[in-house]
Structure 1
Amino acid sequence: MGEHQTPETLSRRSAPVIETATGRLLDALLRYRAYRLLWTSSVLTQIGQWMLQVATGWAMLQLTDSALWVGMLGFASGVPFLLVAAPAGALAERFDRRFILLVCQAGALLVSTALATLVLTGLVTPFLLLVATFLNGSLLAANNATRQALIPSYVPRSALQNAVALLSAGMNTTRILGPSLAGPLVATLGVGGTLLLQSACLALALANTGRLPTTPPTEQPNLPFIRLMAEGLAYIRRVPIVLGLILLASVPTILVFPYLHLLPVFARDVLHLGPGGLGLLYTVGGAGALAGSLFVASLRRVRYRGALMVGIIVVYGGVIAVFSLTRWLPLALGCLFAGGFLGASYMALNNALLHLAVDDEVRGRVMGLYMVTWGFMPLGALPMGALGDLISVPGAVLSGALASSLAALLVVWRVPALLRLQ
């Protein structure tokens, strides 16, 4: 547990690290115990999420034999980010952020255990799967918004970019390992057994979170909740850099990232691959994302990180546009790796720059609204899929990728100070 510590206190108490390339890359993990606990808890939670996603998707397919019902699971898990993340960010300023994480993870543990019980007893239904997925998504949205607000409490400002990028690297590692582990687990242990393993991951995450230092509220507890939210929105409108960074976070989430939902169509109809080939596409993209996160974690003395971020998103749109046009597997794999690299490095840079630009008094609310952008991907998949039916899936992805690059340039034209961010 421990008493409250500031990033400056944590910096003074940090462990010595030998200045090697690895030491510089893993700086925040090696130096700051509280951040290390938060990172471990986050990775364990995300591993559990992959188990849940694969297990519930398989269970829904067995129960309904319907792609529509399986797609509704993705919608039920994504919509809570639109509904819950912003209020959760405001709560993170009113209460101890560590306590909110504990509540979210304990709630997710209860949901997972209850769902495992329903599956093992044969009482699960498609509707109950949707309810459990929505509840889990709501808790995950609140957990992630609070976690974002917590990072600067556990590392000094000088280590913030490294800490944000290493957390992104951890999440992308689970993106590679999660599906490859969850599939065999469902095959050997069944859906119920896999959900029990998810519960075990959440229990371990909960234990790590319980060892985090406490964080005091940053707002007066008697301030009306609606006023808290309104002041957060007013702050974003008042500070062009913050507004620009959130808009830039929204651009690829709406216009590019939904292509990930359409990879099964590319695998079967464009590249003529089976399920194994589809898994290869996801794995290569995940490997690129991991490399991109580690690239940002290793960055030192880059003068204009804002300009680098903008350059990356423009090139990212171009790479995905090339992917949408190719029918040659080696080029498609190269584009997916490059796209994963650029997308992850862009989001890690955007996240780090947002943390550096925001005042701590409104950090919870701003990061909560930032997390809302994560909910745009399942919503963006709907119009992209509809456009795919109308013209073609490659054409829809091409349109989104080119629109993303143009939209990013438009945001920068309106907020040119983004290019000068250090």
Structure 2
Amino acid sequence: MQSVNKSVGAFSPLRHKTFRNIWTTSVFSYFGHLILGVGVAWEMTRLTDSPTMVALAQTALMAPYVLVALLAGAVADMFDRRLIALVSLAFAIIASATLTSLAFMGITTPWMLLLFTVMIGCGVAFYSPSWQASIPEQVPADQLPAAIGLGAVAYNVARSAGPALGGVIVMAFGANYAFAVNSIFYIPLFVAFFFWRRNTVASRLPPERIGRALVSGMRYAKHSAHITRALFRVFVVCLCVASANALSPLIARDILGGEADMYGLLLGASGIGAVIAGLMVNAMRMKLSTESALKLLALVGALALVVVGLSKSLPLTCAALFIASGASILVVSLLNVTVQLSTPRWVIARALSMFQTCTAGGIAVGSWIWGEFAADYSVQIAMMLSAGALVVTAFLGFLLPVPNDIAEDIQQIEIPEIPEFALELSLRSGPIALEIDYDVDPEQAREFYNNMVSMQKVRMRNGGYDWSLARDIENPALWTERFHCPTWGDYLRMRSRYTQTDISVQAKIKTFDRFEGATKVRRKLERPIGSVRWKAETPDAKQGPLDYTGP
């Protein structure tokens, strides 16, 4: 069991006006997006007989979530998230309205339909990390898990009825009206973000360049065990449970002997299970540790998949899909909470975009794998194998455990003083080499070294690279920590990224240091042969940092 505020209910985040407005209007946007999917698929069947083009319609709608997620996360961390959300939604609205106009004029073509579908998908995909990263700014920290659960509820409420509503609109009025409804349903969400008055603190430094921001985000995730484990676990779980939705049409037709109406019932059961599960996130964290919950949910989900594969009864299959979908949503939500609670604000959107990519990637890869097994063997065997794989994920907790209660304080502590320097430096000057000396009692060498391993992770995830620790041969008490930053600007950014937990690690190491006064730090500008300036006051002519794509 984790330290969870028992007074926080599933709907507590809705007491906060900004979150309530954005969450409510997001339900409409999800409905619109799902209605768009039905309209695009039907319009494509009208425009062409090619099965490939029909399949590409859904690919065009979902691919942006994977392809631009990391870029969207980097942009959301670099600039005002409210502004990014507004621009992204405006782009989606304009693209959708343009597609609607072309459809009413009757001049759409298959490739034109795909193009505008991708454009709409890109707008929504760019909006998503900005919205998720903004949730901690809209609700108190103790309500964050419930807010994340409500985010899953919003989508799954739409998933339960959106496709059916889209089908009714298309059958009654035509695909062009489905496009129009989508355009309209994005507008309330745009208005909600427009009226959100976000409190921002301007950075003293310009934003990172986009390439560097992408590398910084991936480097932070790589050197943060909490995030790395959450990303891997959500990928493998989504890969395993993807069989339920991917094979639902075949389950309805081949196992239950039904038609499209039965397929709709199966989707409805999955959606309702996901909605109810989304409301249980905080209660689950209150009763069980995260790792215990993940293991239990994996076993329950696996049992449900077995029932789906063996059942010939529609009610039993619906009940099993209800459970399987609920278990998967709880797993995703619990891991999402882990990422949110262990990531500082400067990189949160990038971390969430990686989480989104792993989730979507797991579903995409899993759908393909289980589809291949179903084609080569049978739907039943595919379901059994996916259930077995899901059982295996329960044992991942012994190798890659997710923390039960995250103790890290991710509040950023910016170091206000700018280091003194005599050289004329620009933000692009680099690389910067840093050397820090420690005078340590040889009797404490082993304990000091063990603590420096933690410091290595701090330096690496906040922007450093080529970290090393050396011990003086002549004076065994003298230790030197050394690492690099790509540029002077990157070094200054690193100083603004330290969290309270990072400062605590440094304070612990300082207790070993016998040097009196401030820590002895040397900052050096590395210069390749032939580039040394003759006068210190000569401005650094370097136009950009050295290429760096390392860890």
The residue number in structure 1 matching 2:289 is 304
1:169 matched to 2:153? The reply is yes
Residue 230 of structure 2 contacts residue 335 of structure 2 at CA under 8 Å; is this kept in 1? Answer: yes
Query: Which residue, 144, 154, 157 being the options, matches 1:160?
Result: 144
CA contact (8 A) 1:320 1:339 kept: yes
- From 111, 136, 142, the counterpart of 2:120: 136
Letter in 1 for 2:150: L
- Paired residue for 1:382? 368
Question: Does residue 327 of structure 1 match 2:295?
Answer: no
1:370 aligns with 2:355: yes
**For residues 200 and 78 of structure 1, what CA distance do their matches in structure 2 show?**
20
In the alignment, structure 1 segments of 5+ residues that lack a partner are 1-19
Q: Which moved more, 1:161-170 or 1:226-235?
A: 226-235
Aligned position for 2:322: 337
Deviation string 1:225-260 (CA, Å, 9 cap, x unpaired) is: 222222211211212111111111111222322431
More helix by share: 1
Shift in alpha-carbon separation, 1:172–1:282, aligned structure 2, 3 A: same
Residues 131-171 of structure 1: CA deviation (Å, up to 9, x unaligned): 12222222222111221111111111111011111121111
Secondary structure of 2:258's partner? Answer: coil
Report 1:184-223 matches (<5 A): 184-214=168-198, 216=200, 220-223=205-208
| TM-score for the superposition, normalised by structure 1 | 0.89
State the alpha-carbon separation in 1 of the partners of residues 285 and 226 from structure 2.
Answer: 22
Distance verdict in 2 for CA 1:362–1:59, change over 3 Å: same
Q: Secondary structure at the match of 1:301?
A: helix
1:291 to 276, 296, 320: 276
Aligned to 1:318: 303
Tell me the percent identity: 27
The residue that corresponds to 2:255 in the other structure is 270
Question: Relative to structure 1, is the Cα distance of residues 65 and 263 closer, same or farther in structure 2, using a 3 angstrom cutoff?
Answer: farther
Alignment partner, residue 405 of structure 1: 391
Deviation at 1:300, TM superposition (A): 6.7
1:124 counterpart residue number: 108
Match of 2:228 in 1: 243
Alignment root-mean-square deviation, CA: 2.2
1:77 aligns with 2:77: no
Please state how far the C-alpha of 1:175 moved relative to its aligned partner: 1.0
1:402/1:24 Cα in 2 relative to 1: closer, same or farther (>3 Å)? Answer: same
CA contact (8 A) 1:305 1:421 kept: no
Question: Partners in 1 of 2:17 and 2:351 — Cα distance?
Answer: 26
Matched, 1:149 2:138: no
Conserved in 2, the CA contact under 8 Å of 1:51 and 1:194? yes
Equivalent of residue 334 in structure 2, options 349, 373, 383? 349
Structure 1 residues 117 and 127 mapped into 2: Cα distance closer, same or farther (>3 Å)? Answer: same
Structure 2 residue matching 1:25: 3-state secondary structure: coil
Contact 2:294 2:394 in 1 (8 A): no
**Structure whose residues are more often strand by fraction:** 2
Distance in structure 1 (CA, Å) of the matches to 2:94 and 2:201:
27
Distance 2:284 2:402 in 1: 21
> How far has the Cα of 1:54 moved from its partner?
0.9
Query: What displacement does 1:286 show?
Result: 0.6
Residue in structure 1 matched with residue 474 of structure 2 by the alignment: none
Letter in 1 for 2:66: L
Q: Secondary structure at the match of 2:247?
A: helix
* TM-aligned CA distance change 1:347 to 1:417, over 3 Å: closer
Aligned positions of 1:40-59 closer than 5 A: 40-59=24-43
**What SS does structure 2 have at the residue aligned with 1:232?**
helix
Q: Which amino acid aligns with 1:397?
A: M
- Deviation, 1:317, is 2.5
Q: Is 1:68 the equivalent of 2:29?
A: no
What residue identity is the alignment partner of 2:34?
W
| C-alpha contact 1:56 1:191 (8 A) present in aligned 2 | yes
**What's 2:266 paired with?**
281
Structure 2 CA distance, aligned partners of 1:260 and 1:102?
A: 32
